A and B are shown apart, each in its own frame.
Chain A
Amino acid sequence: MTVLVIAEHDNAALNDATRAAVTAAQAMGGDVHVLVAGKGAKAVADAAAKLDGVKTVLHADADALDKRLAEAMETLVLSIADRYDAILAPATTGGKNFMPRIAAKLDVAMISDITSVESADTFVRPIYAGNAMMTVKSKDPKKVITVRPTTFEKAGDGGSASVEALDAPAPAAASKFVKEELSKSDRPELAQAKIVVSGGRGMGSGENFAIIEKVADKLGAAVGASRAAVDAGFVPNDYQVGQTGKVVAPELYIAVGISGAIQHLAGMKDSKVIVAINKDEEAPIFQVADYGLVADLFKAIPELEEELGKAGY
Chain B
Amino acid sequence: MKILVPVKRVVDYNVKVRVKPDQSGVDLANVKMSMNPFCEIAVEEAIRLKEKGLAEEIIAVSIGPAQAQETIRTALAMGADRGVHVTTDATVEPLAVAKILKAVAEEEQPGLIILGKQAIDDDTNATGQMLAALLGWPQATFASKVEKDGDALNVTREIDGGLQTLNVALPAIVTTDLRLNEPRYASLPNIMKAKRKPIDAKTPEDYGVDITPRLEVLKVAEPPKRQAGVKVESVADLVAKLKNAGVL
Residue numbers of A with Cβ under 8 A of B are: 10, 67, 69-71, 74, 92-94, 96-105, 107-113, 122, 125-140, 172-183, 191, 195, 219, 227, 230-231, 236-238, 243-244, 246, 251-252, 262-263, 269, 272-275, 281, 286, 288-295, 300, 303-304, 307-308, 311
Minimum CB–CB distance for B12 against chain A, Å: 11
Q: Are A122 and B168 in contact (CB under 8 A)?
A: no
Minimum CB–CB distance for B6 against chain A, Å: 14
CA gap between A308 and B236 in the complex, in Å = 9
CA gap between A41 and B127 in the complex, in Å = 30
Interface residue B227 (Cβ < 8 Å from any Cβ of A):
yes
Minimum CB–CB distance for B159 against chain A, Å: 5
CA gap between A294 and B130 in the complex, in Å = 47
Q: Are B141 and A96 in contact (CB under 8 A)?
A: yes
Q: Are B218 and A122 in contact (CB under 8 A)?
A: yes
Q: Are A93 and B123 in contact (CB under 8 A)?
A: no
For residues 113 through 141 of chain B, which have their beta carbon under 8 Å from a beta carbon of chain A?
117-118, 120-134, 136-141
Assuming the contacts A252-B242, A291-B238, asked whether A132 and B247 have C-beta atoms less than 8 A apart, the reply is no
CA gap between A304 and B236 in the complex, in Å = 8
Given contacts A128-B123, A136-B218, 11 further A-B pairs with CB under 8 A are A92-B160, A93-B160, A102-B133, A112-B126, A129-B123, A133-B221, A175-B166, A243-B123, A244-B118, A290-B230, A292-B229
Q: Are A311 and B17 in contact (CB under 8 A)?
A: no
CA gap between A269 and B229 in the complex, in Å = 13
Residues of B within 8 A of A236 (CB): 162
Closest to B215 in A: A136
A172: contacting residue among B133, B144, B163, CB under 8 A = B133
A126: contacting residue among B123, B137, B216, B241, CB under 8 A = B123
CA gap between A272 and B242 in the complex, in Å = 12
Minimum CB–CB distance for B208 against chain A, Å: 15
Stretch from B62-70, B92-100, B186-194 that touches the partner:
B92-100
Q: Are A177 and B129 in contact (CB under 8 A)?
A: no
Minimum CB–CB distance for A297 against chain B, Å: 11
Minimum CB–CB distance for B169 against chain A, Å: 4
How many inter-chain contacts with C-beta < 8 Å in the A-B complex?
Answer: 263
CA gap between A105 and B139 in the complex, in Å = 14
B226: contacting residue among A74, A262, A263, A288, CB under 8 A = A288
Minimum CB–CB distance for A267 against chain B, Å: 12
A103: contacting residue among B126, B138, B213, B216, CB under 8 A = B126
Residues of A within 8 A of B104 (CB): none
Assuming the contacts A93-B159, A182-B161, asked whether A109 and B226 have C-beta atoms less than 8 A apart, the reply is no
Interface residue B33 (Cβ < 8 Å from any Cβ of A):
no
Q: Are B178 and A227 in contact (CB under 8 A)?
A: yes
Q: Are B158 and A307 in contact (CB under 8 A)?
A: no
For residues 126 through 185 of chain B, which have their beta carbon under 8 Å from a beta carbon of chain A?
126-134, 136-142, 144, 154, 157-169, 172, 177-179
Give the 9 A-B CB pairs with smallest separation, nearest first: A100-B126, A104-B130, A100-B129, A109-B214, A175-B138, A104-B133, A174-B169, A110-B126, A182-B162
Assuming the contacts A97-B141, A176-B167, A177-B164, asked whether A275 and B242 have C-beta atoms less than 8 A apart, the reply is yes
Q: Chain B: how many interface residues by the 8 Å CB criterion?
A: 82
Q: Are A273 and B245 in contact (CB under 8 A)?
A: yes
Q: Are B168 and A104 in contact (CB under 8 A)?
A: no
Closest to B216 in A: A137
CA gap between A132 and B17 in the complex, in Å = 8
Q: Are B130 and A137 in contact (CB under 8 A)?
A: no
Assuming the contacts A136-B217, A174-B168, asked whether A292 and B232 have C-beta atoms less than 8 A apart, the reply is yes
Q: Are A179 and B158 in contact (CB under 8 A)?
A: no
Q: Are B239 and A132 in contact (CB under 8 A)?
A: no
Residues of B within 8 A of A238 (CB): 158-163
Residues of A within 8 A of B178 (CB): 227, 231, 244
Residues of B within 8 A of A104 (CB): 95, 98, 129-131, 133-134
Minimum CB–CB distance for A175 against chain B, Å: 4
Assuming the contacts A97-B141, A131-B223, asked whether A179 and B129 have C-beta atoms less than 8 A apart, the reply is no
Residues of A within 8 A of B214 (CB): 108-109, 138-140
Residues of B within 8 A of A67 (CB): 164
Residues of A within 8 A of B215 (CB): 109, 111, 136-139
Q: Are A246 and B144 in contact (CB under 8 A)?
A: no
CA gap between A295 and B131 in the complex, in Å = 49
Q: Are B231 and A292 in contact (CB under 8 A)?
A: yes
CA gap between A78 and B158 in the complex, in Å = 26
